[in-house]
Amino acid sequence: MARKGGKRLLVPSIALCYIRQSFTRDESDTNSPERQRANIQLVCEREGWTPEWYVDAEGHKSGRNETNRPAWLQLKERLHDADVVALVANDMSRIHRKAWRVGRLVDEILTPNDIRLVLAAPGREIDTSVPMGRLLLMMIAMQDESYANDIAQRAKDSIAYRKRQGKSVGIPPFGTIRDADGFLIPMTDGAWLLPNGRFVAGLADDAPPEAGAIWRGYYDCARRILELYAENSMGRNKIAYRLNEEGWAFRNRHNQPRPMNADDVRRVTSNWREYAGLVGYGRSKDQNASVIENPVEALEEDTGRAVFDMTLLHQVAQVQEHRSRVTRPRGSIQAAHPYALARLLYCAHCETRAIEQENPQLRSRLSGHNRYGTLRYRHAGGVSCGCKARSVLIERVEGEFRRLVDQLTLSPEAYEQLVELAIQSEHHDAETDEQVSLDEQRNAAIAKCRRRMEAARQVYMDGDISRDEYLSIKERNEREIIHWQNRSSDTQRMAIELQMCMNVFNQMIEVWDSSSDEDRQNMAHMLFEHVIYDLDAQHIVGFRLKVWAERYLVLRSCLFDDDSSGDGTPPAGENEERCFLKDSTVSCPQRASTPYVSQPRKPNLRRAETSPAAVPEPSS
């Protein structure tokens, strides 16, 4: 594929920097990504490149395939752009652990686009422009692939050995832990339910964190779930509602308590084999009761390692077998619909609870629902957050979203005012009026490099340094001059960014009605990080744009306020429907690992988010 943009007008200076960690166990397991970033940063500073970071370091990110690495897939799309000069990684195994993928990357993407491949780890420098360098690269790739295959074989052998001993593998089922021998035993951990409805992790023997706190153990919670399920009188959603009303909490993999939902009930009821001390020899998804000849017969032999009463586990197995073998009527399974706001839409009531309790895990997505032939967005099952409505028609939600995007558009005549506001904000945020502009910095740096080259030439002519030393100094300074020449001023950069954002919003609203559902979904995910929706009021109450579009949102709000009259009427040329964000209160908290803070932070133009009060309820 040829580079986008045709002939280059500027020397490329962007280095695509890739970081990958195979498996991240918890938040503290970040040594490898930090080390990779430090090595790559040194390379970019040495070469004078501008780094553009892509990180796959959450959960399981195997280098043997690409589908589970979203950051890498985004990076591959950027490799065809004309401003990219290099692909930088700590070592080749971070990019791929398949030799044929490495060969395809070099031969079909990097070489045709004249992009350098740079490995940042000490002692890993390879020149892929010469045959010897490519041969060495392929040898390293085959060694990495062999290493990955050997590790996989060892892991499979270890898992098979544990299962032959009757030991389960992976995260223990909810309510249990493993003893010193590797067998399941009841867990003593749990959560204290405080009078205000919040949970605090602890032990039964601990003193209550405050007066009136009620103890809820995880093992007792799992038993309560199995008992309600064995009655066969309610589904998973109703069981989750009942447990939340009774004050039970579920434990996530980070040992933090949270309210119960329908998926948590499924996790417990599907693990009745592990609770009975039985171990399956296939994949977990193949152990479903509907694909086993007679799942109840598996419990006839007591292993002596059951953590719950065997009679209760027999009842759970019988209920699951009965429910799994219920056949659907012909035509009852509907085709999947690509919802435009899938994975973007969140419940406003759950969002409020998450902010109040500073717990992002209380957030709930609204997912697509098509069970009864009517397309709707539905609240997560089993979650009690205070909202009475549990679903809303797709036309209502996506129509409201289209109106939001329409209010974020601007006419081309407002572009100059937008740039002027950006310039004013930059000058207002400067720490001192004597700050040197970027143009002056660039001119001074270029002049300094030229003086260095002239001084080196004079020293070389005097015979004090060798020709190789002189050429090395000359090359280094010429590269730095190119770097500074390609840097645009702040005003030019802001103008380009704002023009791009304005064009994206305007084009999106023009093609929204005529686009397919898949295209609408892609456009929504390109611009928004999340959208907060109130199911009871049936309107959008908040949203957050992508990082690259945040400055546009802040400046657009300021422009609307400046152009409006003092009596609150809309500006000339704008109808009343277009005043969607006129009275919005825009806050700009800094980006952090979690968006929930107890105190508001100092606003700035790097992070923009509308408050829940920012979007008024639309007229009918």
Determine the pLDDT at residue 231: 95
DSSP per-residue codes, 190-236: EEEE-TTS-EEEEETTSPPSSTT-EEEEHHHHHHHHHHHHHTTSS-H
pLDDT > 90? residue 185: yes
> What number is the average pLDDT over the span 135-149?
85
Share of the chain above pLDDT 70, in %: 74
| DSSP labels, 247-273 | T--EE-TTS-EE---HHHHHHHHTTHH
pLDDT for the residue numbered 68 = 86
pLDDT digits (tens, 9 = 90+) for 398-431: 999 999 999 888 777 666 666 666 556 554 444 4
**Which of 7-11, 73-77, 178-182 bottoms out in mean pLDDT, i.e. has the lowest?**
7-11
SS3 category, 346: strand
Residue 351's Cα: distance from chain center in Å?
18
Under a CB-based contact definition with an 8 Å cutoff, are residues 390 and 539 in contact? no
Cα–Cα dist 322/290, whole Å: 8
CA distance 568 to 117: 57
Instruction: At 408, give phi and psi (nearest 5°).
Output: -90, -5
Q: What does the pLDDT look like over 190-220, one tens digit per residue? A: 999 999 888 999 988 889 999 999 999 999 9
Helices (H) and strands (E) in the chain, counts: 18, 19
Q: What is the pLDDT of residue 431?
A: 42
Spell out the residues 6+ positions from residue 134 whose beta carbon is closer than 8 angstroms to its own: 106, 128
Task: Supply 421's token pair.
Answer: 């506001």
Give the C-alpha separation, 259 to 496, whole Å: 46
Q: Residues 115-139: what's their mean pLDDT?
A: 81
As a whole number of angstroms, the distance between CA 185 and CA 176 comes to: 6
CA–CA gap between residue 411 and residue 327 (Å, rounded): 56
Contacts of 499 (CB under 8 A, 6+ apart): 415
